[in-house]
Amino acid sequence: MKFLDQAKIYVRSGDGGDGVTAFRREKYIEFGGPDGGNGGRGGDIIFEAVSNLNTLIDFRYTQHFRAKKGGNGAGSDRTGAASSAVLIQVPVGTQIMDDDRETLLADLDKVGKRIVLCRGGDGGHGNASFKSSTNRAPRRADKGWPGEERWVWLRLKLIADAGLVGLPNAGKSTFLSVVSAARPKIADYPFTTLHPQLGVVRLSMTEEFVLADIPGLIEGAHEGHGLGDRFLGHVERCAVLLHLVDGAAGDVVDAWRTIRTELDEYGGGLKDKPEIIVLNKSDAMTPQQLSGRKRALEKASGSKVMVMSGVARHGVDEVLRALYIIVAEARADRVARAEEGEEEAS
């Protein structure tokens, strides 16, 4: 299935049904009076986050969603039927943006979360609603209220606990394939990863987390160079970033700074996320090269640098354990905040 993380669609809720003008006409009843019923309510447009979707590809082929109009009223005080809502299912992590692509309308970040984006129009009143002591035979009936319509952008941000960042050919796809059941494309040329990939990492029966691999960044990605920084949105929700640096490529400090610059330029809170720096491809360096490049990277970043080889699987377990510690702390913090919110609400 092709991965698609952005789509523009048109939605329109249903108009309300019209009220009617009617009078009771029965034998032996001289003054029947008005009995025109009200119109029914138009259908809503509802979005729901579901767990069995992971792409917006369906919206490439279906881009217009319209709810039906409510039924018109009828005589004998009969109200028109209300139209059913149109339910649009999207992957968890989908954001609904206004047509300007800047105004956030909804963030469906949990399974089952729903939002009524466009409400259906109310039905119009029939003439029975207007009778009074001074107006015994009203001939007024209202049209139904119109529904709402708008163009919106859907933007998918994958839900992952940890995100992989780095230059092309830093070994991100290899690492993901080693630690999870994911099978991303792996080759010896840049940009083999064209779309984000997800993998579930299991350390034990009770310890697991989701790891996201995004296409590699290059200098100027925030200006659209290479594949650009479009896919960085998929690691905005991560608790920690795993920054892989190709140790065999030479200038590891420049490689690390290039990615940090792109993260800072992108924004979205990425520059403030916890970062684990890993010097990858240790099997392709001599001990002297490994020691010198690790020291230089630690001095430039001011952080501890871990060493790993995804191909030889050296140091992989230590990196996974360091990732899980931060992920577990972030999960505990979310649970604590949720409990505090419930207590305040009660």
pLDDT digits (tens, 9 = 90+) for 28-50: 877 788 999 999 999 999 999 99
Reported pTM: 0.73
Q: Phi first, then psi: what are they for 344, rounded to 5°? A: -65, -40
**Buried b vs exposed e over 231-267: b needs ≥16 C-beta within 10 Å?**
bbbbbbbbbbbbbbbbbbbeebbebbebbbbbbeebe
Residue ranges for the binding site for Mg(2+)? 173, 193
Q: CB neighbours (10 Å) of residue 283?
A: 15
What tokens does 112 get?
Answer: 């089952």
Question: What pLDDT is attached to residue 167?
Answer: 84
Q: Which residue from 267, 206, 282, 216 is spatially nearest to 243, judged by alpha carbons?
A: 216
The annotated binding site is made up of 166-173, 191-195, 213-216, 280-283, 309-311
Name the phi and psi angles at 136, rounded to 5.
-80, -20
Beta bridge partners of 64: 10
Tell me the per-residue pLDDT of 79-132, one tens digit each, with 9 for 90 and over.
999 999 999 999 888 999 999 988 999 999 888 999 999 999 999 999 999 999
Computed over its alpha carbons, how large is the radius of gyration of the chain? 29
71 alpha-carbon distance from chain centroid: 35
Q: What is the secondary structure of 161-210 as a DSSP string?
A: SEEEE-STTSSHHHHHHHHSS------SSS----S-EEEEEESSSS-EEE
pLDDT computed for residue 99 by the predictor: 92
Annotated binding site for GTP: 166-173, 191-195, 213-216, 280-283, 309-311
Q: Which portions of the chain are predicted below pLDDT 50?
A: 1, 189-191, 226-227
Strands (E), the chain: 6-12, 45-50, 64-66, 86-91, 94-98, 104-108, 114-118, 149-156, 162-165, 197-202, 208-213, 240-246, 275-280, 305-307
Domains within the chain, CATH numbers bracketed: 6-156 (2.70.210.12), 162-343 (3.40.50.300)
